[in-house]
Chain A
Protein backbone atom coordinates (compact mmCIF):
# COMPACT_ATOMS: atom_id res chain seq x y z
CA UNK A 1 0.00 0.00 0.00
CA UNK A 2 1.17 3.49 -0.84
CA UNK A 3 0.21 6.31 1.52
CA UNK A 4 0.65 9.70 -0.08
CA UNK A 5 -0.45 13.21 0.77
CA UNK A 6 -2.96 14.99 -1.44
CA UNK A 7 -0.36 17.69 -2.16
CA UNK A 8 2.25 15.21 -3.45
CA UNK A 9 -0.35 13.30 -5.44
CA UNK A 10 -1.47 16.53 -7.09
CA UNK A 11 2.12 17.64 -7.74
CA UNK A 12 2.76 14.42 -9.70
CA UNK A 13 -0.46 14.75 -11.70
CA UNK A 14 0.29 18.42 -12.45
CA UNK A 15 3.78 17.54 -13.67
CA UNK A 16 2.36 14.79 -15.91
CA UNK A 17 -0.21 17.19 -17.36
CA UNK A 18 2.40 19.88 -17.92
CA UNK A 19 4.73 17.60 -19.91
CA UNK A 20 1.97 15.88 -21.88
CA UNK A 21 2.26 14.57 -24.65
CA UNK A 22 5.80 13.69 -23.56
CA UNK A 23 6.23 11.38 -20.60
CA UNK A 24 7.02 13.10 -17.30
CA UNK A 25 9.19 11.49 -14.63
CA UNK A 26 10.48 12.12 -11.14
CA UNK A 27 10.51 10.81 -7.62
CA UNK A 28 9.39 11.39 -4.06
CA UNK A 29 12.11 11.13 -1.45
CA UNK A 30 11.48 10.16 2.15
CA UNK A 31 13.51 9.36 5.25
CA UNK A 32 15.13 5.91 5.00
CA UNK A 33 12.96 3.13 6.37
CA UNK A 34 9.82 5.21 6.89
CA UNK A 35 8.12 4.35 3.57
CA UNK A 36 6.76 7.89 3.78
CA UNK A 37 7.08 10.08 0.66
CA UNK A 38 7.86 13.66 1.70
CA UNK A 39 9.88 15.58 -0.89
CA UNK A 40 8.76 16.16 -4.48
CA UNK A 41 11.60 15.98 -7.01
CA UNK A 42 10.50 16.38 -10.64
CA UNK A 43 13.18 15.17 -13.03
CA UNK A 44 13.99 16.06 -16.60
CA UNK A 45 12.97 13.39 -19.10
CA UNK A 46 16.26 13.23 -21.00
CA UNK A 47 14.51 11.20 -23.73
CA UNK A 48 11.86 13.95 -24.26
CA UNK A 49 9.56 11.33 -25.75
CA UNK A 50 5.87 10.39 -25.67
CA UNK A 51 6.84 6.70 -25.36
CA UNK A 52 10.02 6.64 -23.27
CA UNK A 53 11.53 8.29 -20.23
CA UNK A 54 15.00 8.38 -18.78
CA UNK A 55 16.49 10.47 -16.00
CA UNK A 56 19.40 12.64 -17.03
CA UNK A 57 22.41 10.81 -15.57
CA UNK A 58 24.10 13.88 -14.08
CA UNK A 59 20.87 15.15 -12.51
CA UNK A 60 20.33 11.67 -11.09
CA UNK A 61 23.79 11.65 -9.47
CA UNK A 62 23.16 15.05 -7.90
CA UNK A 63 19.74 14.02 -6.56
CA UNK A 64 20.97 10.64 -5.26
CA UNK A 65 23.88 12.34 -3.44
CA UNK A 66 21.50 14.88 -1.95
CA UNK A 67 19.28 12.06 -0.67
CA UNK A 68 22.34 10.33 0.81
CA UNK A 69 23.32 13.53 2.63
CA UNK A 70 19.79 13.86 4.03
CA UNK A 71 19.41 10.16 4.94
CA UNK A 72 16.64 9.79 2.39
CA UNK A 73 15.79 7.21 -0.22
CA UNK A 74 13.54 7.18 -3.30
CA UNK A 75 10.21 6.11 -1.79
CA UNK A 76 8.24 6.71 -5.00
CA UNK A 77 9.51 6.66 -8.58
CA UNK A 78 6.90 8.01 -10.95
CA UNK A 79 6.36 8.50 -14.65
CA UNK A 80 3.45 9.10 -16.96
CA UNK A 81 1.95 7.24 -19.87
CA UNK A 82 0.39 9.70 -22.24
CA UNK A 83 -1.60 7.44 -24.58
CA UNK A 84 -2.00 4.16 -22.67
CA UNK A 85 -3.20 2.96 -19.28
CA UNK A 86 -1.26 3.51 -16.05
CA UNK A 87 0.21 0.02 -16.03
CA UNK A 88 3.94 -0.82 -16.27
CA UNK A 89 5.08 -1.59 -19.81
CA UNK A 90 7.44 -4.47 -20.59
CA UNK A 91 10.27 -1.90 -20.70
CA UNK A 92 9.25 -0.46 -17.32
CA UNK A 93 9.42 -3.94 -15.81
CA UNK A 94 12.75 -4.87 -17.41
CA UNK A 95 14.44 -1.65 -16.33
CA UNK A 96 13.02 -1.30 -12.82
CA UNK A 97 16.13 -0.92 -10.68
CA UNK A 98 14.84 0.12 -7.25
CA UNK A 99 13.23 -2.91 -5.59
CA UNK A 100 12.37 -0.90 -2.47
CA UNK A 101 10.43 1.82 -4.30
CA UNK A 102 6.76 2.26 -5.10
CA UNK A 103 6.49 2.66 -8.86
CA UNK A 104 3.71 5.16 -9.56
CA UNK A 105 2.21 5.47 -13.02
CA UNK A 106 -0.05 8.28 -14.10
CA UNK A 107 -1.98 8.18 -17.34
CA UNK A 108 -2.83 11.49 -18.98
CA UNK A 109 -4.63 9.94 -21.98
CA UNK A 110 -7.94 11.29 -20.66
CA UNK A 111 -7.83 15.10 -20.48
CA UNK A 112 -10.35 15.20 -17.62
CA UNK A 113 -9.40 12.33 -15.33
CA UNK A 114 -5.87 11.23 -14.46
CA UNK A 115 -5.35 7.57 -13.66
CA UNK A 116 -2.94 7.23 -10.70
CA UNK A 117 -1.77 3.72 -9.76
CA UNK A 118 1.10 2.22 -7.77
CA UNK A 119 3.13 -0.98 -8.12
CA UNK A 120 6.02 -2.90 -6.68
CA UNK A 121 8.33 -4.22 -9.35
CA UNK A 122 10.81 -6.80 -8.06
CA UNK A 123 12.75 -9.33 -10.17
CA UNK A 124 10.49 -8.79 -13.15
CA UNK A 125 7.30 -9.34 -11.13
CA UNK A 126 4.67 -6.61 -10.94
CA UNK A 127 2.30 -6.32 -7.99
CA UNK A 128 -0.26 -3.54 -7.95
CA UNK A 129 -1.00 -2.05 -4.54
CA UNK A 130 -3.72 0.21 -3.16
CA UNK A 131 -3.10 3.97 -2.97
CA UNK A 132 -4.36 5.81 0.08
CA UNK A 133 -4.46 9.58 -0.25
CA UNK A 134 -4.18 11.31 3.11
CA UNK A 135 -4.58 14.91 4.05
Chain B
Protein backbone atom coordinates (compact mmCIF):
# COMPACT_ATOMS: atom_id res chain seq x y z
CA UNK B 1 0.00 0.00 0.00
CA UNK B 2 1.88 3.03 -1.25
CA UNK B 3 1.31 6.53 0.02
CA UNK B 4 3.09 9.49 -1.54
CA UNK B 5 4.39 12.13 0.86
CA UNK B 6 5.36 15.58 -0.40
CA UNK B 7 8.15 17.10 1.66
CA UNK B 8 8.72 20.86 2.01
CA UNK B 9 12.15 22.41 1.47
CA UNK B 10 12.86 22.84 5.16
CA UNK B 11 12.46 19.10 5.85
CA UNK B 12 14.32 17.77 2.82
CA UNK B 13 17.49 17.39 4.87
CA UNK B 14 15.75 14.27 6.23
CA UNK B 15 15.01 12.88 2.77
CA UNK B 16 18.35 13.43 1.06
CA UNK B 17 16.86 16.38 -0.80
CA UNK B 18 13.93 14.41 -2.23
CA UNK B 19 10.70 16.38 -2.74
CA UNK B 20 8.57 13.26 -2.70
CA UNK B 21 9.01 10.02 -0.79
CA UNK B 22 6.77 6.99 -0.53
CA UNK B 23 5.78 4.98 2.47
CA UNK B 24 3.01 2.88 3.84
CA UNK B 25 0.65 2.75 6.77
CA UNK B 26 -2.99 2.20 7.62
CA UNK B 27 -3.10 5.56 9.38
CA UNK B 28 -1.13 8.78 9.27
CA UNK B 29 0.81 7.88 12.42
CA UNK B 30 1.76 4.51 10.91
CA UNK B 31 2.98 6.33 7.82
CA UNK B 32 5.13 8.64 9.97
CA UNK B 33 6.72 5.67 11.73
CA UNK B 34 7.37 3.99 8.37
CA UNK B 35 8.90 7.13 6.88
CA UNK B 36 11.02 7.67 9.98
CA UNK B 37 12.56 4.20 9.55
CA UNK B 38 14.20 5.44 6.34
CA UNK B 39 14.31 9.18 7.04
CA UNK B 40 15.32 9.29 10.66
CA UNK B 41 14.18 12.38 12.52
CA UNK B 42 11.37 13.30 10.14
CA UNK B 43 8.63 12.06 12.47
CA UNK B 44 9.93 14.23 15.29
CA UNK B 45 9.26 17.29 13.15
CA UNK B 46 5.66 16.28 12.42
CA UNK B 47 4.34 15.22 15.81
CA UNK B 48 4.85 16.54 19.33
CA UNK B 49 6.11 14.45 22.24
CA UNK B 50 2.66 13.09 23.05
CA UNK B 51 2.28 11.88 19.46
CA UNK B 52 -0.31 14.43 18.35
CA UNK B 53 0.26 16.67 15.35
CA UNK B 54 2.89 19.35 15.80
CA UNK B 55 1.28 22.77 16.15
CA UNK B 56 2.99 24.63 13.33
CA UNK B 57 3.11 22.02 10.61
CA UNK B 58 0.20 21.61 8.21
CA UNK B 59 -0.47 18.11 6.96
CA UNK B 60 -2.99 17.47 4.22
CA UNK B 61 -4.49 14.21 3.04
CA UNK B 62 -5.23 14.80 -0.62
CA UNK B 63 -7.19 18.11 -0.40
CA UNK B 64 -8.05 18.16 3.31
CA UNK B 65 -6.23 19.42 6.39
CA UNK B 66 -5.92 16.29 8.56
CA UNK B 67 -6.83 18.39 11.61
CA UNK B 68 -10.37 18.36 10.19
CA UNK B 69 -10.18 14.60 9.59
CA UNK B 70 -8.81 12.32 12.28
CA UNK B 71 -5.45 13.92 13.09
CA UNK B 72 -2.70 11.30 13.37
CA UNK B 73 -5.38 8.57 13.40
CA UNK B 74 -6.62 9.52 9.95
CA UNK B 75 -6.95 6.33 7.89
CA UNK B 76 -4.99 6.11 4.63
CA UNK B 77 -5.65 4.15 1.50
CA UNK B 78 -3.45 3.10 -1.39
CA UNK B 79 -2.68 5.99 -3.70
CA UNK B 80 -3.30 8.74 -1.15
CA UNK B 81 -1.11 11.82 -1.28
CA UNK B 82 0.04 13.41 1.97
CA UNK B 83 1.33 16.98 1.63
CA UNK B 84 3.39 18.59 4.38
CA UNK B 85 3.72 22.39 4.55
CA UNK B 86 5.32 24.43 7.31
CA UNK B 87 2.68 26.73 8.79
CA UNK B 88 3.38 30.35 7.96
CA UNK B 89 2.94 32.13 11.27
CA UNK B 90 4.60 34.44 13.72
CA UNK B 91 4.07 37.27 16.11
Contacts and interface: CB of A to CB of B under 8 A. Distances in A.
Contacts of B63: 61
Contacts of A53: 89-91
A interface, size bucket = 20 to 34
A77 interface: yes
Interface stretch (A3-11, A92-100, A109-117): A92-100
Interface in B61-91: 63, 65, 67, 83, 85-91
A76 B83 CA distance: 22
Contacts of B32: none
Nearest to A54: B89
A98 B90 contact: no
Nearest to B65: A57
A91 interface: yes
A64 interface: yes
Given A53-B90, A88-B90, A95-B89, A61 B8 contact: no
A98 to B, nearest CB: 7
Nearest to A93: B90
Interface of A: 25, 27, 43, 47, 51-55, 57-58, 60-61, 64, 77, 79, 88-92, 95-100
